[in-house]
């Protein structure tokens, strides 16, 4: 990536704390200054809280943050889009964190930017690149059904336009725009997509190294909340992992429900921690356990990078097919296996807590 001047007209759209973290990582790597970051704020209070903390860090780095109550009532979308249209028309580069977002897909139809950059939105990036390479509709991996409801059909023209704009031109055809990917995920990109590795250099330069505790920490997941994993099976797995490895703290995912976490704390004895920043920053600041246990999720790819040079080990426990709900997407098991199987520098665990062979 070539450094961007301060007046380059770079506009970034984020809807989650992890997306904003990865925008900051991209800006650090690309030496891009004075970005305008637009936060399309969600309803979830935990996500909003983390986003506000991340927005403070972005401002500290010299970037402009524009907070949009994009979902604040029936007139909010029109008001948000109307206010952003002048910025979209002027921008020469768009950086986005969630290509599956209908909001982002709609905004992409309004821009003339010649450069589009997708930064990681966790493991969803792996599915996005796969669908892009296969020419498929952009559908989140955990969604079940045809995606052909009334709202889907109404939005289809915008989704198709966004997908075309995110698809690189075929070899030999003049390219009207460049497509970039900034990722820490193991992806096999289609021809024409320019890839830059995210090694969390900004995080490591900004925070730490952390103080390490003697204990083990466990990282939570929202697989129950998304309808993929049965709640009882999940709690039993957490209880077994905590007992086997002596875990004392449970870092909750921002989307985990209060009721589930209350039950988890009661039944496992774990201290439930609600992080106010993405886990990569929490771990880098410390204190953090010498062993971090996780189920298949983004952190099995990102934590080894953020904690490079420390003595922290990351281990991942596979999802047993018996844990899946009846309503889980048919793609769920294969996707989760792929998340685990492609993780680098992590230890794989059976449900019993024993290291997997190989």
pLDDT digits (tens, 9 = 90+) for 155-180: 678 788 888 888 887 665 666 789 99
pLDDT over 80 (residue 356)? no
Closest CA to 138 of 169, 165, 174: 165
How high is the pLDDT of residue 177?
A: 83
State the average pLDDT over residues 215-237: 95
How high is the pLDDT of residue 272?
A: 97
Token pair 């029109």 is found at 78
pLDDT digits (tens, 9 = 90+) for 237-255: 999 999 999 999 999 999 9
- The Cα 128–Cα 136 span in angstroms is 9
231-240 as b/e: b if 16+ CB within 10 A: bebbbebbbe
How high is the pLDDT of residue 151?
A: 67
pLDDT digits (tens, 9 = 90+) for 287-329: 999 999 999 999 999 999 999 999 999 999 999 999 999 999 8
More confident residue, 9 or 282: 282
Domain with CATH 3.40.50 in the chain: 10-198, 204-349
When the pLDDT of each residue in the chain is averaged and rounded to a whole number, the result is 88
Closest CA to 142 of 38, 242, 274, 255: 255
pLDDT digits (tens, 9 = 90+) for 24-43: 999 999 999 889 999 999 99
- As a CATH number, domain 10-198 is 3.40.50
pLDDT over 50 (residue 4)? no
Instruction: Spell out the residues 6+ positions from residue 202 whose beta carbon is closer than 8 angstroms to its own.
Output: 24, 25, 27, 28, 29
CATH 3.40.50 fits 204-349, yes or no: yes
């Amino acid at each position: 990536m070539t450094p961007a001047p301060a007046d380059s007209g770079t506009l970034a759209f984020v809807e989650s704390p992890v997306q904003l973290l990865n925008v900051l990582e991209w800006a650090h790597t690309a030496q891009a200054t004075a970005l305008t970051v637009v936060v399309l704020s969600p309803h979830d209070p935990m996500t909003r809280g983390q986003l506000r903390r991340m927005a403070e860090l972005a401002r500290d780095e010299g970037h402009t943050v524009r907070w949009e109550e994009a979902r604040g009532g029936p007139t909010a979308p029109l008001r948000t889009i109307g206010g952003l249209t002048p910025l979209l028309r002027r921008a020469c580069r768009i950086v986005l964190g969630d290509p599956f977002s209908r909001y982002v897909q709609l905004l992409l139809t309004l821009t003339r930017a010649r450069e589009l950059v997708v930064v990681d939105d966790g493991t969803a990036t792996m599915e996005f690149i796969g669908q892009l390479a296969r020419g498929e509709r952009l559908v989140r991996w955990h969604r079940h059904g045809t995606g052909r409801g009334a709202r889907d059909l109404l939005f289809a023209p915008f989704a198709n336009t966004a997908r075309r704009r995110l698809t690189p031109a075929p070899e030999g055809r003049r390219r009207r725009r460049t497509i970039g990917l900034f990722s820490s995920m193991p992806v096999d990109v289609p021809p024409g997509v320019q890839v830059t590795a995210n090694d969390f250099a900004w995080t490591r330069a900004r925070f730490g190294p952390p103080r390490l505790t003697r204990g083990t920490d466990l990282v939570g997941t929202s697989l129950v909340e998304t309808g993929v994993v049965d709640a009882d099976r999940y709690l039993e797995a957490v209880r077994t992992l905590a007992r086997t490895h002596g875990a004392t703290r449970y870092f909750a995912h921002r989307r985990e429900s209060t009721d589930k976490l209350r039950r988890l704390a009661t039944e496992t004895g774990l201290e439930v921690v609600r992080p106010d920043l993405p886990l990569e920053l929490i771990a880098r600041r410390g204190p953090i356990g010498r062993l971090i246990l996780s189920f298949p999720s983004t952190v099995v790819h990102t934590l080894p990078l953020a904690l490079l040079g420390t003595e922290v080990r990351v281990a991942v426990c596979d999802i047993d097919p018996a844990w899946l709900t009846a309503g889980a997407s048919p793609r769920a098991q294969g996707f989760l296996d792929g998340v685990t199987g492609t993780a680098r520098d992590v230890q794989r665990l059976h449900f019993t807590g024993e290291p997997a062979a190989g």
